[in-house]
Amino acid sequence: MSLPDLGWLQRFPALAGMPEAERAPLTGGAMAMSLPAGTTVFAPDQPCSMFILVTVGTVRVFQLDAEGNEIVLYRLGPGSICILTTLALLACDSYSAFAVTETPVEAVGLPAATFNELMARSAQFRSFVFNAQAARMADLMAVIQNVAFASIDSRLAARLLALADDSRGLSITHQQLAAEIGTAREVVSRHLKTFERRGWVSLGRGRVELRNAAPLRAAAQAGR
């Protein structure tokens, strides 16, 4: 479906500020995308045919190991682009991970031909893409560093605090937490039980209550 309404550009100020002549392929080729929660956006070995710009909602990008354990690489939110999509388009290659919508998502898709035309014609579009790639790559490197060097206690404590934000409770399973920090469910369950014995959290079915944030913050900082 074509996208005559250009309001979505306000999510991407660098694109909204492109000169009119350079922006013509962008606005002419943009297609509206509406995806319900739980939709697989892409999967390994699928060809990449569309550059996706998220305007509403959240997409989880992840990989699976040989045992089927999931590790979350990053999430896409409003104003985001996907590093794996960009790399696949630039290299004319297939995807190497999964992406699934966590919420209903509204996005704008640019066909590969439009993306390539903009990369060739517009310095401002290239700058937008490469700056976004650099920021996303920094996030990805942080994930790799945490998985490679931080302890399970540190990673788990940090993720609990980040996901809880200002609240004290999380509706999340041990399997989902395992995916967040790149380990097995059994490992997360064992460490959560230790946290519970220490009085840091209390556990329920599909729920974790944060009872004492101070030692969780200390544990998270210890791994940095």
Q: What is the pLDDT of residues 167-192, one digit of tens each?
A: 778 999 999 999 889 888 999 999 99
Token representation of residue 213: 């944030």
Count of residues in the chain: 224
Task: Provide DSSP, 10-59.
Answer: GG-HHHHTS-HHHHHHHHHH-EEEEE-TT-EEE-TTPBP-EEEEEEES-E
- pLDDT tens readout for residues 42-85: 999 999 999 999 999 999 999 988 778 888 899 999 998 999 99
Which structural domains are found in the chain, ordered by start? 7-122 (2.60.120.10), 149-222 (1.10.10.10)
